[in-house]
Structure 1
Amino acid sequence: MESLGERLANELRRRIIVGDLPAGTRLVEEDLAESFRVSRGPVRDAVKILRAEGLVTGAGRNVVTRSLSEADIDELMALRESFELLAVERAIATSRDDLVRELKAALVDMDAAAADRDSTAFTTADIRFHSAFFQAAGLTRLSVLWNQFRPTIEGLLHASGKRMDDLAPSAREHHDLAELIAASKVAEVKVELHRHLQTTCSRLQAAVPPSPPPRK
């Protein structure tokens, strides 16, 4: 179950990613506590989470938001790819059947969301699909790394998904990946996963809100 600080971090993260809290916006502890009707403890917890994710900088009364640039997203997705390649190879070798079952369940939700043009549900299923690699791999430290980056990645996917008129092509890419994984075609899985994540990276970068003009 999420803590109050985590829920607050989720909302602030969403606002930062979609541009509702532009880069340089000051996050004043007492103002946030009053706005969200919480004590300052959860606010401090939320700021700590966002600082670890690189979405805020500073301390005390000088905490400000930091938007993600195209270079930030490129770095984030490069790290994600390295984690996923290791996880999926390990999962295929040790727990392929369990992995395939979880992927199929995620694909059912993904197809339903695509049919309904529900980008929010689609992103939830997308994250479930990719998280299955780490669950099946059984590598604790690798899962910790994925869980650290996953909230930011999920927030970016939600923001970019709202701009997608047709979710079916992305669903097909996931079906192709699942079929290769089921056939234990590790080399082909790696090629397809790289291509898929590169496409995703370009989509996320295109959804980045423009930076505000410098203050005079």
Structure 2
Amino acid sequence: MAESNKNLYPDKWLNKASAGERVACELRMRIISGRIESGSILSENQLAAEFSVSRSPIREALKVLASENLLRLERMGAVVLELTEKEIQEIYDVRLLIETFVFERLVKMDTTEVAKELSKTLEMMKIAIKYQDADDFSFQDVAFHETIVRSIDHSHILMIWNNLKPTLESLILLSMRMRFEETYDDFDRIIRNHELYIEAISKKDRDLMVQSLHQNFDDVQGRVEDLWTSQQTFTKGVEHDD
């Protein structure tokens, strides 16, 4: 905790957040980044003093992080759990499941407005790259994919996304900060990938959609076709039952 005087979570993202939410966002970033190591014991009293809040927001934050399997609650505090590579892979598996499902629904919808909204967000991503603002790029990147998820107006899919979002947001933020410093040239490819998303949605082209998923999930390509096929099979089954 000695290095925790500088917050990892962007203050500008916390304008409307409660005290408990602010603490949860910062602790989540510290745990996922490894600044707070697994096995560390977090004391309610120490956290309350550090964040200059009462113990009530600290308890709120610890409960949230425990629900995300980042902590194990103990009397008057918590023990930090390891976020394993397997768990991170599972988070991206769920995200891939969501996006394959959403894409299949979009084929049957008017996608004009969602494509326009995505194009606006993509322009904001390009501006963030120009000014080398990793935090704003991450914010817009998450917003881009959330726009896709929200576009089908599916309450339970959105619920799953919202449960996934806090940890996913932290992983993306940490990754993008590193990329801006170490692989800045790679952002041309990232922008092209997002342009492909928009083109696939605009044209309702399943082949382009699969290609866009391949390029955005380049480390899980072996699962893209299986997931995409399963979504099409499921949808046809539902249509047949109707």
- Which interval holds the TM-score relative to the shorter structure? 0.7 to 0.9
Change (3 A) 1:159 1:143: same
Q: Does 1:51 align with 2:76?
A: no
Tell me what 2:145 maps to. 130
Tell me what 1:208 maps to. none
Residue 205 (structure 2) aligned to one of 185, 192, 206: 185
Tell me what 1:159 maps to. 174
Unaligned runs of at least 5 residues, structure 1: 202-216
Tell which structure's C-alpha radius of gyration is larger. Answer: 2
Quick one: distance in 1 between partners of 2:62 and 2:28? 10
Aligned residues, how many?
Answer: 201
Residue type at the aligned position of 1:183: K
TM-score under structure 1 normalisation?
A: 0.86
Q: Does 1:37 align with 2:37?
A: no
Q: Does 1:174 align with 2:194?
A: yes
Question: Are the equivalent residues in 1 in contact too, given 2:63–2:73 (CA < 8 A)?
Answer: no
Q: Does 1:28 align with 2:48?
A: no
TM-score under structure 2 normalisation?
A: 0.77
Shift of 1:93: 2.4
Quick one: distance in 2 between partners of 1:144 and 1:18? 25
Quick one: distance in 1 between partners of 2:149 and 2:65? 23
Superposition map of 1:70-149 within 5 A: 70-149=85-164
Quick one: distance in 2 between partners of 1:88 and 1:54? 29
Shift of 1:88: 2.8
Residue 5 (structure 1) aligned to one of 3, 20, 33: 20
Change (3 A) 1:80 1:53: same
Q: Which digits, 9 at most, give the CA deviation of each residue in 1:73-122, with x for residues without a partner?
A: 11110011101211232234234122111211110011111222221111
- The worse-fitting range, judged by mean Cα deviation, of 152-161 and 89-98 is 89-98
SS of 1:54's equivalent in the other structure is coil
SS of 1:68's equivalent in the other structure is coil
Quick one: distance in 2 between partners of 1:121 and 1:40? 31
Quick one: distance in 1 between partners of 2:200 and 2:148? 13
Q: Does 1:66 align with 2:105?
A: no
SS of 1:137's equivalent in the other structure is coil
* RCO comparison, higher one (Cα < 8 Å, 6+): 1
SS of 1:38's equivalent in the other structure is coil
Q: Which digits, 9 at most, give the CA deviation of each residue in 1:110-162, with x for residues without a partner?
A: 11112222211111111011001121110011101101111111101111112
Residue 196 (structure 1) aligned to one of 181, 195, 216: 216
Change (3 A) 1:128 1:39: same
SS of 1:77's equivalent in the other structure is helix
Residue type at the aligned position of 2:53: V
Question: Are the equivalent residues in 1 in contact too, given 2:71–2:81 (CA < 8 A)?
Answer: yes
Quick one: distance in 1 between partners of 2:72 and 2:148? 32
Q: Structure 1 segments of 4 or more deviating over 3 A? A: 198-201
Residue type at the aligned position of 2:213: L
Question: Are the equivalent residues in 2 in contact too, given 1:106–1:125 (CA < 8 A)?
Answer: yes
Question: Are the equivalent residues in 1 in contact too, given 2:196–2:208 (CA < 8 A)?
Answer: no
Q: Which digits, 9 at most, give the CA deviation of each residue in 1:45-83, with x for residues without a partner?
A: 111111111111233235111232211111110011101
Question: Are the equivalent residues in 2 in contact too, given 1:95–1:137 (CA < 8 A)?
Answer: no
Unaligned runs of at least 5 residues, structure 2: 1-15, 222-242
SS of 1:45's equivalent in the other structure is helix
Change (3 A) 1:109 1:200: farther
Change (3 A) 1:122 1:199: farther
